[in-house]
């Protein structure tokens, strides 16, 4: 029996190229076609992958009724609508993060997937990093006892070219904000380890006018975990020169752990009762997009998980409901965001920025 899984990719930008490369490298996968509205990419697609290029998802889906999986690698604001189109055509879906920009859109995607008996894989590749796998096992074994406090800090650098060089980054409609585009991986890590949150209080700031960025550049959010303990999520996109850190500090009854580095790639502190810190495999480097760096370069594991799951040899690493929960948490954090007053505060004063 031929277990080769046929993939098509929608959106051949920075991450779409990585998906294409990872599918090409996977021995049980076949890259069948790529679609992007930017027709200037056709030549590069043909040169690098020797597959047909289409200028719309509709044209690709019509031309290839027998693909297995459609990877959605387009701007955030298009994920839900394109996932619905792929599901309607009876294909499984790999959806880049975030799954959508609203919980209601995630619900529509999940409902369609259930109707069509298809999988939706949410891309949260940081889950494969050795420190994430280790943290998950520490939490599953309840080695820290009761959790008192969790602090997540994400301090990144995004310069003006990041926004002006993109058709969608920084736009309310297509991007949604830093919690969706830069930091949803770390919301996912927090949700994966500690579950849902409640009683959210948020402050947002805009300290720097950057052309093309319609959002806050600073956020400080605190909350309680439904399962107990308090938490905070603090972030910035205007760190000087380069990404500084993405870290998680966990304070529990039986110990304290900090995983940090630029993108949570190393254990910085581990002092736990009757427990010796293991030596972990090194994490893969961050995705390097030339003028900026992102999260872990782990997409090969995502593709492998899709292949194994469809062939019945594994289960989905990040399922659609988990993708929805990340969007739900971000949506609730952003309920207290008022972009208009942030902009006004930036114009009027340098001292009264936080709302």
Ligand X SMILES: NC(=O)c1ccc[n+]([C@@H]2O[C@H](COP(=O)([O-])OP(=O)(O)OC[C@H]3O[C@@H](n4cnc5c(N)ncnc54)[C@H](O)[C@@H]3O)[C@@H](O)[C@H]2O)c1
Question: Among residues 125, 262, 309, 317, which is the contact residue for ligand X, using CB under 6 A?
Answer: 125
Closest approach, Cβ 132 to ligand X, in A, equals 13
348, containing H or E segment: helix 339-348
Residue 11 interacting with ligand X (CB under 6 A): yes
CB neighbours of residue 316 within 10 Å: 18
Q: Are 11 and 74 in contact (CB under 8 A)?
A: yes
Using the rule CB under 6 A, is 105 a contact of ligand X?
Answer: no
Q: With CB under 6 A as the contact rule, which of the stretches 8-16, 21-29, 140-148, 204-212 interacts with ligand X?
A: 8-16
CB 12 within 8 A of CB 96: no
- Indicate the residue among 41 and 138 with the shorter CB distance to ligand X: 41
12 is an interface residue for ligand X by CB under 6 A: yes
Q: Which is nearer to ligand X, 36 or 265 (CB)?
A: 36
DSSP SS3 for 260: strand
Taking CB under 6 A as the binding criterion, the range among 13-21, 83-91, 234-242, 325-333 that sits at the site for ligand X is: 13-21
What order of strands is seen across the sheet that includes strand 266-272? 197-205, 218-225, 230-236, 147-155, 245-252, 255-260, 266-272
Tokens read off for 53: 């290029």
Q: How far is the CB of 82 from ligand X (least distance, A)?
A: 7
Say which residues have a Cβ less than 8 Å from residue 349's Cβ, sequence separation at least 6: none
C-beta closer to ligand X: residue 121 or 155: 121
Look up residue 41 and give its two tokens. Answer: 């990419």
Place of tokens 């040169």: 47
> Cβ 10 to ligand X, closest distance in Å?
5
Ordered strands of the 53-54 beta sheet: 53-54, 29-35, 5-10, 69-72, 92-95, 120-122
Q: Tokens 């406090």 — which residue? A: 149
DSSP class of residue 318 equals: S
Q: Would you state the structure tokens that stand for residue 333, as one six-digit string?
A: 């954090």
CA–CA gap between residue 347 and residue 144 (Å, rounded): 46
Please pick, from the candidates 22, 23, 35, 85, the single residue that binds ligand X as defined by CB under 6 A.
35
Q: How far is the CB of 55 from ligand X (least distance, A)?
A: 8
Tell me which residues in 279-338 interact with ligand X (CB under 6 A). Answer: 287, 294-295
Question: Does residue 14 belong to the site contacting ligand X (CB under 6 A)?
Answer: yes
Residue from 22, 93, 123, 306 binding ligand X (CB under 6 A): 123
Binding to ligand X (CB under 6 A): which residues in 133-192? 166, 181
What does the per-residue mask of binding to ligand X show for 54-93, with x meaning CB under 6 A? ---x---------------xxxx-x---------------
Q: By the criterion CB under 6 A, which residues form the site for ligand X?
A: 10-16, 35-38, 57, 73-76, 78, 96-97, 123, 125, 166, 181, 287, 294-295
């Amino acid at each position: 029996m031929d277990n080769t899984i046929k993939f098509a990719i929608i959106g051949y930008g920075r991450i779409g190229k990585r998906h294409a490369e990872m599918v090409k490298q996977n021995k049980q996968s076949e890259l069948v076609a790529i679609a992007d509205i930017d027709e200037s990419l056709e030549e590069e697609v043909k040169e690098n992958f020797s597959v047909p290029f289409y200028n719309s998802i509709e044209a690709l889906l019509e031309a290839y009724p027998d693909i297995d999986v459609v990877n959605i690698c387009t701007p955030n604001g298009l994920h839900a609508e394109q996932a619905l189109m792929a599901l309607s055509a009876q294909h499984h879906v790999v959806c880049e993060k975030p799954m959508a920009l609203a919980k209601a859109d995630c619900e529509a995607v999940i409902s369609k997937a259930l109707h069509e008996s298809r999988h939706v894989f949410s891309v949260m590749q940081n889950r494969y990093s050795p420190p994430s796998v280790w943290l998950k096992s520490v939490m599953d074994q309840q080695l820290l006892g009761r959790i008192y406090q969790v602090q997540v800090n994400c301090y990144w650098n995004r310069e003006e070219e990041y926004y002006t060089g993109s058709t969608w980054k920084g736009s309310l409609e297509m991007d949604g904000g830093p919690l969706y585009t830069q930091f949803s991986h770390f919301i996912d890590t927090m949700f994966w380890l500690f579950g849902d949150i409640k009683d959210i209080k948020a402050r947002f700031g805009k300290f720097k006018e950057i052309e093309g960025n319609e959002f806050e550049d600073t956020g400080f959010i605190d909350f309680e975990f439904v399962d107990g303990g308090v938490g905070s999520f603090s972030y910035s996109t205007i760190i000087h020169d380069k990404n500084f850190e993405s870290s998680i500090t966990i304070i529990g009854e039986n110990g304290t752990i900090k995983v940090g580095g630029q993108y949570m790639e190393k254990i910085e502190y581990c002092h736990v009762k009757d427990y010796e810190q293991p030596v972990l495999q090194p994490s893969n480097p961050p995705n390097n997009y030339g003028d900026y760096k992102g999260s872990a370069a782990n997409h090969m594991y995502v593709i492998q998980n899709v292949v194994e799951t469809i062939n019945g040899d594994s289960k989905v690493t990040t399922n659609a409901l988990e993708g929805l929960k990340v969007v739900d948490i971000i949506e609730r954090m952003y309920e207290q965001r008022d972009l208009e007053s942030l902009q006004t505060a930036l114009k009027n004063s340098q001292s009264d920025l936080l709302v």
